[in-house]
Chain A
Amino acid sequence: MAKDKKVIGIVCERSVDLTDQLDSNGYLKDNPNVKIVTVPCSGHIQPIMMETALKKGACGTFATGCRMGDCHYREGNKFLRERLLGTRMPKLKPTVDKRRVQAYWLSAVEYEKFKDLIHQFDESLDTLGCPEG
């Protein structure tokens, strides 16, 4: 059962640096049920990507972007946040279970913090329960 608990993380390549933290299949070494998909900027992330992850059976999904104010492309992280909160088009569908969707704003040098946050998220998903794979 635990094996089926998958989490999809869509991460900005400029925010928290995961180059040394992934196994050869793109899973987090410290949290092997977390699959990482990289994009150039959190502003590139479409809400439908996160919706798809949940629809196809992920237990949870998260995005990372740089610290608010430090987006390399100025506004990408701000826009993603607004899309997830439903104040900017295209919005995350209101029917999506918000407890399974997270976003973290961390700079490249904040892996330790990232690790803690992912661990917490993972545990909170355990209490929510996951769809059977």
Chain B
Amino acid sequence: MYTQLIGSLQKNVVLPLEKVANKVFTQSYNPFYYHGALPNFFIWVLFISGLLLFAYYTPTLERAYNTLSYITHELPFGNAIRSMHRYASDGMMIFVMLHMLRVWFTDRYREYRILPWLTGVILLSITFTIGLSGYMMIWDQEAVTLTYITANFLKQFPVIGPSLSSLLLGGELVSDFTLTRLLFLHLGIPLLLMFFLWMHYLRITRPVTDPPLALNLVLLGGLFLFCGVFPVSLGDRPNLQLVSPTLDLSFLYAWPQYLITQGWSTGVVWLLVLGVPVGLLILPYIQKKALRGQFAQVLDSSCTGCSLCYHDCPYEAITMVDRNDPTSRFKRLAIVDPGRCANCGLCVGACAFKAIEIPRRDSQDVLKEIEMALNS
């Protein structure tokens, strides 16, 4: 049932959308085909604009707001850079989610793709944490309120709640340590992002990590437009005794806090915060396996060790090993890792020696079918 649902989503939603996009952008620039590369554009913008902001930011109770105010009101192009950073963070979340939906709806997320999927869910959680800490670092009245709501939310977790809250605040109460913690989250967690991105690409041969220049320019233009038309603002100087009466939260990053301000119970919001990533982690396992353990088979006696299949395999499933066999004319041999093999047959197309086959379609049968059609 679920398999059919995914299949019909692909056929009735994704492919028709892509068909339209092919008309608008042409095949070479169709953003759908750069779903994985697009978040990387935002990572670059965030990194560069973030560095500039970091040059002025001082993480203390006394000075954090002042530096934000200086960046926003006095520093030449300061607010433009702040706006860039803000809108790129929104873009990042949106495009990461689109990337996720696309690999999900086109059934590119399970079996031999399990590592990119699982690391992807971690990347999503990391992105979320980085963005949220960024909103708190602004340290105006709303940011302080957001920090209070978040700390309180963490505190409600059974048993370890109070520790979680004091991990965030750097103690029982808001202090200079709080801002150091926020800065650590905002700059330290991106290192984790880099680590998991590396893992994300580990089993993908030649990942397409960069959108074409033209798409980058279009996105950059879009960002500039947003920054020009809707420059971001800074709220009131914080009074730690007060909470902000109005909260204009980014739903993308602060949705749990938003739900809490809407009167949702903490328990339900916790269920969501934990349930969404756990659900995503389980998702690939609920579908029946399509391949049932099939994988490419090397015919040892025919393999010349030429490495063509090794270079062309899109999922790093082939390794070349020494034969250690003095009776053979050939030194090397291709070996397939069953867990990584997609059963795709790209190695069959690459092999000129009839030495590798996938069980579901023998290349000799294809040839026979062709010959039979021409003999009849």
Contacts and interface: CB of A to CB of B under 8 A. Distances in A.
Contact of A90 (B27, B33, B352): B352
B32 interface: yes
A128 interface: no
A37 B369 contact: yes
A46 B373 contact: no
B349 A80 contact: yes
A109 B11 contact: yes
Interface string A57-75: 1100000000111101111
B210 interface: no
A56 B349 contact: no
B308 to A, nearest CB: 6
Contacts of A48: 352, 367
Given A6-B373, A80-B349, A110 B33 contact: no
B133 interface: no
A interface bracket (residues with beta carbon within 8 Å of B):
35 or more
A89 interface: yes
Tell me if A's interface is mostly helix, strand, loop or mixed. loop
A69 B366 contact: no
Contacts of B280: none
A114 interface: no
A105 to B, nearest CB: 7
B15 A108 contact: yes
Interface stretch (B219-227, B260-268, B356-364): B356-364
B344 A43 contact: yes
Contact of B374 (A58, A68, A83, A108): A58
Interface string B128-149: 0000000000000000000000
Contacts of B16: 109
B348 A46 contact: yes
A53 B367 CA distance: 8
B112 to A, nearest CB: 10
B22 interface: yes
Contacts of B206: 75
Interface string A76-94: 1001100100000110000
A73 B204 CA distance: 10
A41 B373 contact: no
A74 B204 contact: yes
B94 to A, nearest CB: 20
A75 B358 contact: no
A50 B146 CA distance: 64
A44 interface: yes
B312 A44 contact: no
A8 B374 contact: yes
B345 A40 contact: yes
Nearest to A34: B373
B199 interface: no
B55 interface: no
A39 interface: yes
B373 A76 contact: no
Contacts of A43: 312, 314, 344-346, 349
A24 to B, nearest CB: 14
A70 B308 contact: no
Contacts of A96: none
A90 B312 CA distance: 11
A40 B343 contact: yes
B366 A37 contact: yes
A44 B366 CA distance: 10
Interface string A93-129: 0000000000001011110000000000000000000
A35 B369 CA distance: 10
Nearest to B10: A108
A67 B348 contact: no
A103 to B, nearest CB: 13
A52 B344 contact: no
Nearest to B365: A37
A40 B349 contact: no
B363 A44 contact: yes
Given A69-B28, A73-B342, 11 more contacts: A8-B373, A44-B345, A49-B366, A49-B370, A53-B370, A57-B374, A76-B349, A79-B349, A83-B349, A90-B350, A108-B15
Interface of B: 11, 15-16, 18-19, 22, 27-28, 30, 32-34, 106, 108, 204-206, 308, 312, 314-315, 342-346, 348-352, 358, 360-361, 363, 366-367, 369-371, 373-375
